[in-house]
Amino acid sequence: MKNVVARNATQRAIAGLTSLALVAGTLTVMPYASAQQQTSQCVVNKARGENGAGAFGADKSTYKPGDVVKLNGAVFDARQSNGQPIANPYLALKLDSNSNTWPVQEDGSLLEFKDGSDATTLIVPSHLLTDDGFEAEVVLPAEFDNNFKPGKHIITVLGGADGGPTVSKSTEIWVNETGNDDDACGVNNQNPQPQPQPQPNPQPNPQPQPQPNPNPQPNPNPQPQPNTNASASASASVSATDGRWSKKGDISVKFSVEGFPKGEKVSVKYDDKEIPLDKEVTVDETGKATGSVTLRDLPAGEYEITVTAKDTHANAKFQVNPVATLSDNAAAGSAVTFNGAGLPAGAKITAVGTDGQNWLTKKQVWDAVVPENGQISITDVQIPADAKFGEIVYYTYTTNDGKKVEAETTNKVNASTEPVSVDQYSGIKRELPSGLYQSAVNNDTGHVFVTSAQRTSKSTIYKLDLKTLDVVAKNDALEKDGADNVYAAYGVALDNTRNLVWVTDTRQGTVSVYRQSDLTHVKTFPKDVAPHSRDVAIDEKTGLAYVSVVGGDNANKVVVFDLNQDQPIGTIQLDGFDGVMSLDLNQDTGELFTASGGTPKAAKIDLRNGNQVTIYNLPKNFASGAGVAYDPVSKNLFVTSQRSGEAVVLSTETKKVVATIPTGAGALNAVYNKDDKRVYVTNRGAGTVTVIDPATNKVVANLPAGKNANHTSVAADGTIITVNKAGTVKGEGRQPVDEVYTYKFNGVKPQPNPNPQPKPEPSKTSEKPTEKPKPTADPKPTDKPEPKPTPTPQNPSSNLKGIRNLLITVFSVLGLTGLFAGALGAMAKFNVIPASWVPEQLRF
């Protein structure tokens, strides 16, 4: 086992930009008064002062380590500023006011750390916020330790850092070994009495006590008396790269105080200099206050701030620890930048790479000396093309005193983002105002319908021409709720039989219907009938709509809607699901496929057979299921993992996993293309669409799709439509824009086999979900690789087309004799020509 400094609970590489080092310390000006009391058996953490509107609670009272806690906030003020919705609303969750840190959220709502790595704070993102609160599930630490002990713990929700109204609400939970209310340190067995304190020994010769002065004189120069109960604690998070809310080298120091004079303003000094507060802080009615300051350019070490309010002050120590991250999601074959912060001054970076590998050149090592500010960047770190997918990236440094330290970066190796076989595709690109989400195609009319949502402030449904992507019509005057929030459109599906557009109004937990012809409004169902509605699929034979639900009590259900009814007509329960994600409906068979976002499961619902449900178990380490695509030829289901950046291939006949295919960071959606018989996976983090041949379960193309590629749909002629959320600022108005891409495969398409052979059973090794095939090896880069221009969909190369046409001509004349058939198969095997050019029976 490697002896390394681990990331905060092995946080995910999807965080990408920032990293944390957290050590909390407490130093009081007089005898210590802790915010955590110890009874004879149980700790009793105290709730912080509350402010703002809202109610906040958990689903039960007692839990055990590692349990999932369901949290609910209600009657909160809307996340607005000056009457307008804020751009990026969110709330924050704390555990025991920074006295404890959160584990990586591998379950529940899969919340991320603040800035990607601040383990004291979980962020409740905008998609989990409701009009007046939120619903979220969090995972407790997996075991007790010196900080996280049996007893009462406090979960606090905070708001205000997003620019919206300030709120601080807490709920208490009890945690013991069993999760039973009646066992020790459960809510019914709190044992709250503190242990008796030892009494001082009597003095054999007590000294005479001073007598009060009968004529006291006023002191002309009274000195401020310290509050003996005052205390402060602090923690620090380090930014390794520039982020949305921080710059590289920022040290965000969060502090909390108790025993301070109520109503007084708080100030902070560091190194005897007053430091501006990130936001004004006032001591509440209970004598408590929390706030933060931003310092910069501190190398690793222990530091101290002084917090003051009027005549009361307290010191708090905090630790800055090293952190490091790689750019570009550490994609294999990429030249990336290593960024480190909070490192010891004078330390030398000697290695960056996976276990046993060092990707640094001798010159890079020679120059990699950490300056006084503790920050360093090493550019052009070449990740090998054959770097093993999913392996943790480590870095090693040597301190001035000769100590060698090996630690984890925030990254794991991701699949390559290098374009592959783009020249086999043609297509176009168009920019639209920012907020794009999903698309759907009417093949009869040749129109693409695209949803765009800018949270609750603005939303648009576009009707585009498939061939040109010109805007034919749009509707951005969508319905509003009582709080003047737009019913923003996110998911989209078409009922082409009835010429209707169905969209999910995710924030209001419902669905709306519009006419395809002019996008006029037809109907909106009541709020909260489908909490956090995500995807919608329409059975065109019946006209019924099926909506996936991510949040609330229906997170394991698909909700069924009939346009002629005012309420949902039913639900379909999926046992073991936690968040129903993408939907893929086979209109011919009535089979509806989906995946669970919080548990390793997928499902098939037979709509033509009484909604009969089949549950498929995925590998236990499969996390964040998102996209699904069903191949009716192989009868395999492709399920993507947004967290790991891969797709698993599951045989719906044997219920076994037959392949695991790395695709790219943030594998979010998938779709099967009937025309070219390929599966297209949209990788949000990588900004690519990875193309898989289901006949071989191999990657055959990798198409650029812009920053934050979000969704791909497919037309009957084989054209795929991909929308992204690039948010690129352009033009005089400096308004952000997203992009719509189309691609159409121009290569040789598989032909149906007139004499199909029985399908062989998967091999034993292919059925093992833990054995992942290695990514297709790319040629290893030379010492000085020459940059290759990225082909665009608008200007595909014709070189391979010429080779292909020549081969077709030759074999048309000579026939597929054994000699030429063997040569053709060998050329495909060694990547001289694409395998898709070779008939299936001739492939190796």
CA distance 487 to 577: 27
End-to-end CA distance of the chain: 39
809 pLDDT above the threshold of 50: no
pLDDT band (50, 70, 90) for residue 118: confident
Q: What is the mean pLDDT of residues 231-236?
A: 92
pLDDT band (50, 70, 90) for residue 820: very low
Written as six digits, the tokens of 13 are 């590489």
Q: What is the pLDDT of residue 717?
A: 96
Sorted by sequence, the CB contacts under 8 Å of residue 436 that are 6+ apart come out as 450, 451, 452, 710, 723, 724, 725, 738, 739, 740
Neighbours of 809 (CB within 10 A): 10
Q: What is the mean pLDDT of residues 672-676?
A: 97
CA distance 253 to 596: 37
Among candidate residues 780, 768, 668, the one with its CA nearest the CA of residue 359: 780
Spatial contact of 562 and 570, defined as CB atoms under 8 Å apart: no
Neighbours of 483 (CB within 10 A): 11
Written as six digits, the tokens of 434 are 């920012």
Q: What is the pLDDT of residues 168-180, one digit of tens each?
A: 889 999 999 998 8
Residue with tokens 């080298």: 249
Q: What is the pLDDT of residue 12?
A: 34
Sorted by sequence, the CB contacts under 8 Å of residue 838 that are 6+ apart come out as 824, 825, 828
Written as six digits, the tokens of 314 are 């307290």
Q: What separation in angstroms does the CA of 833 have from each of 424, 494, 758, 807?
A: 11, 38, 28, 10
Q: What is the pLDDT of residues 543-590, one digit of tens each?
A: 999 999 987 777 899 999 999 999 999 999 999 999 999 999 999 999
Strands (DSSP E) found in 342-435: 348-353, 376-382, 392-398, 404-412, 425-426, 429-433
Among candidate residues 61, 43, 39, 33, the one with its CA nearest the CA of residue 286: 33
| Angle between the N-to-C axes of helices 818-829 and 799-814, in degrees from 0 to 180, rounded to the nearest 10 | 160
Q: What is the pLDDT of residue 479?
A: 80
The conformation of residue 60, written as its DSSP 8-state character, comes to -
Q: What is the pLDDT of residue 670?
A: 98
Q: What are phi and psi of 822, to 5 degrees?
A: -65, -40
Q: What is the pLDDT of residues 300-326, one digit of tens each?
A: 999 999 999 999 999 999 999 999 999
Strand partners, 163: none
Q: What are phi and psi of 409, to 5 degrees?
A: -80, -175
Q: What is the pLDDT of residue 84?
A: 67
The CATH number of the structural domain formed by 231-320 is 2.60.40.10
If DSSP codes are grouped into helix, strand and coil, which group holds residue 323? strand
| pLDDT, greater one: 106 or 255 | 255
Residue type, 555: A
Residue with tokens 């503190």: 194
Pick the CATH number of 477-617 from 2.130.10.10, 3.20.20.70, 3.30.70.20, 2.30.30.90: 2.130.10.10
Residue with tokens 């990707």: 359
Chain centre to alpha carbon of residue 488: 21
B/e letters for 101-139, b = 16+ CB within 10 Å, e = fewer, are bbbbbbbbbbbbbbbbbbbbbbbbbbbbbbbbbbbbbbb
B/e letters for 47-61, b = 16+ CB within 10 Å, e = fewer, are bbbbeeebebbeeee
Among candidate residues 685, 697, 712, the one with its CA nearest the CA of residue 661: 697
Range of 215-229, 452-466, 597-611 with top mean pLDDT: 597-611
Query: Considering the domain 323-412, what is its CATH architecture?
Result: Sandwich (2.60)
What stretch(es) of the chain map to CATH 2.130.10.10?
477-617
Does domain 34-175 fall under CATH 2.60.120.10? My reply is no
The conformation of residue 574, written as its DSSP 8-state character, comes to -
Helices (H) and strands (E) in the chain, counts: 3, 57
| DSSP codes, 686-751 | TTEEEEEETTTTEEEEEEE--TTEEEEEE-TTS-EEEEE---EEETTTTEEEEEEEEEEE-SPPPP
pLDDT band (50, 70, 90) for residue 482: low
791 pLDDT above the threshold of 80: no
Q: What separation in angstroms does the CA of 258 have from each of 15, 36, 121, 791?
A: 33, 12, 20, 61
Taking the C-alpha atoms of 692, 698, 701 and 705 in order, what is their torsion angle to the nearest 10 degrees?
Answer: 50
CA distance 150 to 144: 7
CA distance 303 to 24: 11
Q: What is the pLDDT of residues 26-57, one digit of tens each?
A: 333 332 233 445 445 799 988 877 777 777 88
827 pLDDT above the threshold of 70: no
List for the chain the helix, strand, coil content (%; round to 5): 10, 40, 50
Q: What is the pLDDT of residues 237-266, one digit of tens each?
A: 998 888 756 788 899 999 999 999 999 999
Written as six digits, the tokens of 117 are 């790595």
Q: What separation in angstroms does the CA of 506 have from each of 488, 535, 596, 636, 840?
A: 7, 9, 17, 30, 44
B/e letters for 729-746, b = 16+ CB within 10 Å, e = fewer, are eeeeeeeebbbbbbbbbb
Residue with tokens 């040597």: 398
Q: What is the pLDDT of residue 759?
A: 46
Q: What is the mean pLDDT of residues 838-844?
A: 43
Written as six digits, the tokens of 496 are 């082409």
Which range, of 210-214, 372-376, 678-682, 721-725, averages the lowest pLDDT?
Answer: 210-214
CA distance 353 to 349: 12
Q: What is the pLDDT of residues 295-305, one digit of tens each?
A: 999 999 999 99
Q: What is the pLDDT of residue 580?
A: 95
The conformation of residue 246, written as its DSSP 8-state character, comes to -
Sorted by sequence, the CB contacts under 8 Å of residue 256 that are 6+ apart come out as 35, 48, 97, 98, 232, 233, 234, 288, 289, 290
Among candidate residues 18, 35, 168, 152, the one with its CA nearest the CA of residue 92: 168
Task: Please report the sign of the dihedral spanned by the C-alpha atoms of residue 262, residue 263, residue 264, residue 268.
Answer: positive
Q: What separation in angstroms does the CA of 194 have from each of 40, 184, 521?
A: 6, 15, 64
Among candidate residues 474, 427, 428, 469, the one with its CA nearest the CA of residue 447: 469
Q: What is the pLDDT of residue 225?
A: 47
Q: What are phi and psi of 143, to 5 degrees?
A: -155, 160
Q: What is the mean pLDDT of residues 709-729?
A: 95
Burial class (CB in 10 A: 0-12, 13-18, 19+), 388: middle
Burial class (CB in 10 A: 0-12, 13-18, 19+), 272: exposed
Chain centre to alpha carbon of residue 721: 24
Please count the residues of the chain: 844
811 pLDDT above the threshold of 60: no
CA distance 186 to 195: 18
Spatial contact of 111 and 129, defined as CB atoms under 8 Å apart: no
Q: What is the pLDDT of residues 615-670, one digit of tens each?
A: 999 998 888 899 999 999 999 999 999 989 999 999 999 999 999 999 999 999 99
What stretch(es) of the chain map to CATH 2.60.40.10?
34-175, 231-320
